[in-house]
Amino acid sequence: MAQELHWRKSTFSGENTDCVEIASDGELVHIRESDDPNVIITTTRAKLTAWIQGAKAGEFDYLTD
């Protein structure tokens, strides 16, 4: 039987109910949008860590400008 995931959202989302949520079941990390919870992206902790480091370094800032 599949493990029940505990989904969390950023505290920066505030009262916004439409947000990105994240859950983990060990080495795998699952990401979804709360308004479309059946679509889930799954990656490893290592790959997510690399992406977060890139985001912190500004590599993706052009997407939000």
pLDDT tens-digit series, residues 10-23? 888 877 678 999 99
Q: How far apart are CA 12 and CA 5, in angstroms?
A: 21
42-63 exposure pattern, b = at least 16 Cβ within 10 A, e = fewer: eeeeeebeeeeeeeeeeeeeee
- pLDDT value, residue 2: 57
- pLDDT value, residue 1: 42
What does pTM read for this prediction? 0.80
pLDDT tens-digit series, residues 20-65? 999 999 989 999 998 899 999 999 999 999 999 999 999 999 999 8
